[in-house]
Amino acid sequence: MTILQSIILGIIQGFTEFLPISSSAHLVLTPYLFGWNIAGEQDFIFGVLVQMGTLVAVIVYFWRELAAIISSFVKALIKRQPFGEPQARFGWLLILATIPAGIFGILVKDSVEEAFSSPIATAIFLLITAGLLLISEVVGKRSRELTSVSWKDALMMGLFQAISVFPGVSRSGSTITGGMLRNLDRPSAARFSFLMSVPVMFAAGLLATLDMFSSGIVSESLPVLIPGIIAAGIVGYLSIHFLLRFLARSPLYIFSAYCTILALVVLFFAYGVPEQRTVSPQVEVYRVEIAPEVAYFEEEIKTCTSRFPEVTVFTDIKALPSIEASDFTVVLGEPATLPPFAAQLRVEEVSVIVHPNNGIKQISIEDLRLLYTGSLENWDQLSEDEGHISVWTYPPESPASSYFEQAVLSGSPLTGYAYLAPNPEAMIEAVSEDPGSIGFLPASWMDEHIRKVDLEPESNLRLPVLALAQEEPEGFLREIVACLQED
C-alpha cells in the first residue's frame, strides 16, 4: 500500500462509514476496481486502524451526549438505581443494542472473512442494503422522536446491526432501517444509530488491535497508514454532520439508488466483460514465525521469497512460536509432539563460546559441567588466566538451553549464579563485553566478537532446524520450504 492509496481509502472509509452505503463494501471494491494489489496482512491492519479513526470521529462529534450518558450511568449504578435516570436508561439501551452484533459476529466469523475476499458477495450484500433503505421509507411512519426509544426499539436496531457484519450491508443503513421500521423519524434513528456504533466499534477495534500487534509488520506499516487514518477521522466527522442535516429534510431513496448502481457496476465487471479487464495477479500472503535461536532464517526467507514476485511473506520472531498462528514455523530442535507436517531444513551445532581474549582453547565435558553447576568459579582452575567466571545460559524453555543442559549437565542442577541471555544477540553482547564469561549459542551466530571452544571429548551438540506446519504446504509455500532446504 502506498501513502496515496492509504489517503484515498481513508477518505472513502470516513465518508462511507456513516452514510448508509457500506464502508466495508467500498474498502473491498475500491482496490478491486482499480486493480490495486494490497498485501492481505497490511490490508487487515489498515482496516483495524482506519475504523479506529472513524470511532474517534463519532466520539468527538457526540462527546457531550456520550459524557452525559456515561456519567449518569455510573452514578445510577453507585446509587443502586440503574434505571433511575433517563440518560442511565439510555445507556442500557445502547448496551442492549450492541449484544446481537457481538453474538452474531462470533457465530459467523469464518463466513464473514470469506465474504471480505469476494467482490461478488459484497455486491449482492449492497443490493440487500438498497432494499432495506427502500423498505424503511415505504413502511416506516416516522412519527416518533429519540426520547421515545424503548428496549424494543433498541433490540430491533441491534438485530439489524448484527447483519451488517457482512461487507456490503451498511451498518448505519441497516440500523436506521430498524429504527424507522419502529416508526422513529429519520434524524432520531440516525442519531441512535451513531451512538450505538460506539460500543460495538470500540469492542471490535480493541479485539482486532490485539490480534494486529501479533504481526511483525505493524511498525513498518504505520508511516504509510497514519495519513489514511487521519483522513478517515476528519472526513468521518464531516460525514456525520452532513447526514444528520440531510435526513432532517430528505428521504433515503438516493442512497438506495447509489447502492443498486454500484452493485450492478461490480457485477458487470465481474461477469459482463472479463476479457476486456486486465487485473494484476493476486499476491499470495503467508506468515512465518521463527524461534530466536534461528532468527537468521528471516533473511533466508526474504531471499527465497524474492524468487516469487507473486508472494509476500511476513516474518515474526517469537520466543515461543505457535504453529497455529502461522503458515509454518521455523524452530531449533524437535518438539515433544510433531505436528502433521515437519521438514528438516538443516542441522545446527550448539557451540561453547568465550571472549576472543580468553586463553582457554579446549574444555572437557566434565569441566564444562562443573562450570555450569557452580563447582568451578575461577579461570585459574582451568587455565593460566585469572578472574571470576561469568556463566551465561538461555531461559529454561529455550530449545538450545534444554538440549545443552541435557547433553552437558546430565541432570545436575544449574548454578544459581548463571546469567540469562534471552536470545543469541544478547548472548554475543554479554560474552563480547566480559573476558571472563562463557556461554553457548547456535554456531550460525558465530562472529568476530566471540570464539568457539573445542570440546574434549567431542560432543554431538547438534540439533535439527525444522519447518513445522499444521498441514502439508502447497503451491508457493511448498516452493519456499524447498528453497530453504536448498540454502
Q: Is the pLDDT of residue 427 over 50?
A: yes
Tell me: do 377 and 481 sit in the same domain: no
Average pLDDT of the segment spanning 100-104: 82
Tell me: do 341 and 372 sit in the same domain: no
Per-residue pLDDT tens digits for 256-306: 999 899 889 888 877 765 444 444 455 677 888 888 888 888 888 888 888
Poorest-pLDDT segment among 244-253, 307-316, 448-457: 307-316
For residue 287, the cross-strand partners are: 314
* pLDDT for 282: 56
Tell me: do 386 and 255 sit in the same domain: no
Q: Residues for the chain: how many in total?
A: 487
Q: Which three cell numbers stand for residue 472?
A: 502439508
Poorest-pLDDT segment among 190-199, 294-303, 314-323, 441-450: 314-323
Q: How far is CA 359 from CA 21, 80, 371, 385, 456, in A?
A: 75, 76, 16, 7, 16
Residue ranges making up the domain that contains 270: 3-276
Which domain CATH number covers 368?
3.40.190.10
* pLDDT for 257: 92
Per-residue exposure over 282-294, b if at least 16 CB sit within 10 Å of its own CB, e if not: eeebbbbbbbbbb
Q: Where are the alpha helices (DSSP H) in 338-441?
A: 365-372, 399-404, 424-433
Tell me: do 292 and 426 sit in the same domain: no
* pLDDT for 388: 84
Average pLDDT of the segment spanning 333-362: 86
Q: Is the pLDDT of residue 109 over 70?
A: no
Domain boundary among 276, 302, 321: 276
Per-residue pLDDT tens digits for 406-425: 778 777 777 777 888 888 88
Tell me: do 59 and 191 sit in the same domain: yes
Domain boundary among 260, 276, 292: 276
Tell me: do 241 and 334 sit in the same domain: no
Tell me: do 57 and 113 sit in the same domain: yes
pTM: 0.54
The residue with greater pLDDT, 105 or 286, is: 286
Average pLDDT of the segment spanning 121-132: 88
Average pLDDT of the segment spanning 108-133: 75
* pLDDT for 141: 83
Euclidean distance between CA atoms 384 and 242, whole angstroms = 83
Per-residue pLDDT tens digits for 225-259: 788 888 888 998 999 889 888 888 888 899 999 98
> Per-residue confidence at 40, pLDDT binned at 50, 70, 90?
low
* pLDDT for 307: 82
The residue with greater pLDDT, 461 or 182, is: 182
Quote the percentage of the chain above a pLDDT of 90. Answer: 8
Domains in the chain, number: 3
Q: How far is CA 113 from CA 29, 105, 164, 424, in A?
A: 15, 11, 13, 38
**What average pLDDT is seen over the chain?**
81
* pLDDT for 224: 74
Q: CA angle 79-84-86, nearest 5°?
A: 130
- Which positions ≥6 away from 4 have C-beta within 8 Å? none
* pLDDT for 206: 74
Tell me: do 337 and 358 sit in the same domain: no
The residue with greater pLDDT, 217 or 73, is: 73
Tell me: do 252 and 130 sit in the same domain: yes
